[in-house]
Amino acid sequence: GQSLEQPSEVTAVEGAIVQINCTYQTSGFYGLSWYQQHDGGAPTFLSYNALDGLEETGRFSSFLSRSDSYGYLLLQELQMKDSASYFCAVRGSNDYKLSFGAGTTVTVRA
Amino acid sequence: NAGVTQTPKFQVLKTGQSMTLQCAQDMNHNSMYWYRQDPGMGLRLIYYSASEGTTDKGEVPNGYNVSRLNKREFSLRLESAAPSQTSVYFCASQGISYEQYFGPGTRLTVT
């Protein structure tokens, strides 16, 4: 099976930078995804990393190190609308399933 | 494009009642999924369908059945609801870059 660990909560002020770490244990590995979920809403896709390195999409970046079984999501220039839960999810085999972490609640303060 | 749609949005059942949650996607995706999300927790996979005509169990399939009616539609059935099935249910479909698109969810309460 798969297990993923990420911090449960992070609080930061507007304009700050937040890094959400995700470590995983899987029997196989094909990729790591990140999803954002606002309170009461549906998860929305942010990024997918299959190879080592940093992927940047606007204010959000995602990093993967397969040798360390580790990835992170970097949120820059934090805005109030970034207050949400963020989930990492691993694709651990060459099928069609994702396993999700328990999520990190990010609270942005003025 | 509506993306992924789910019905109903809310439902209250009594223990032992049955119901079917409907899901449809208009993105021509092959793979579809049913998840449940309990308060403060991540998403747990109930069942998935890699392609039309196939379904497979996920992490928590007990008490549920699914039907992949056609490429667009994937339904989830609770035959005899239990209070432990109180949850928010999300349907999703998967694009070619392994990104999943989620429906708005069904909030189910079983009393």
What's the pLDDT at B1?
73
DSSP string of B91-109, one letter each residue: EEEE-TTS-EEE---EEEE
What was the pLDDT predicted at A66? 96
- Chain A residues near residue B58 by CB distance under 8 angstroms: 97
Residues 6+ apart with CB under 8 A from A108: A11, A12, A13, A14, A78, A79, A80, A82, A83
Q: Give residue A4's pLDDT band: very low, low, confident or very high (50, 70, 90).
A: very high
Least Cα separation, residue A23 to chain B (angstroms): 15
Distance between A65 CA and the closest CA of chain B, angstroms: 19
CA–CA distance, A56 with B97 (Å, rounded to integer) = 16
CA atoms within 13 A on the CB side of B99: 12
State whether residue A29 sits within 8 Å of chain B by CB: no
Residue with tokens 């940093």, as numbered in its chain: A54
Asked if B75 contacts B67 with a C-beta cutoff of 8 angstroms, the reply is yes
For residue A95, pLDDT over 80 is answered with no
The pLDDT of residue B3 is above 90: yes
Instruction: Indicate if the pLDDT at residue B68 is higher than 80.
Output: yes
Average pLDDT of the segment spanning A55-72: 96
Which among A42, A91, A98 has CB closest to B90?
Answer: A42
Q: What is the Cα–Cα distance from B32 to B97, expressed in whole angstroms?
A: 14
Residues of A in contact with B57 (CB under 8 A): none
Tell me how close the Cα of A28 comes to any Cα of chain B, in angstroms. Answer: 16
CA dist B67 and B52 (Å) reads 10
- The predicted model gives B52-79 an average pLDDT of 96
B31 in contact with A, Cβ within 8 Å: yes
Average pLDDT, chain B: 95
pLDDT digits (tens, 9 = 90+) for A21-47: 999 998 888 999 999 999 999 999 999
Q: How far apart are CA A42 and CA B105, in angstroms?
A: 7
* B-interface mutation test, from A86, A94, A98, A105, most B Cβ less than 10 A away: A98
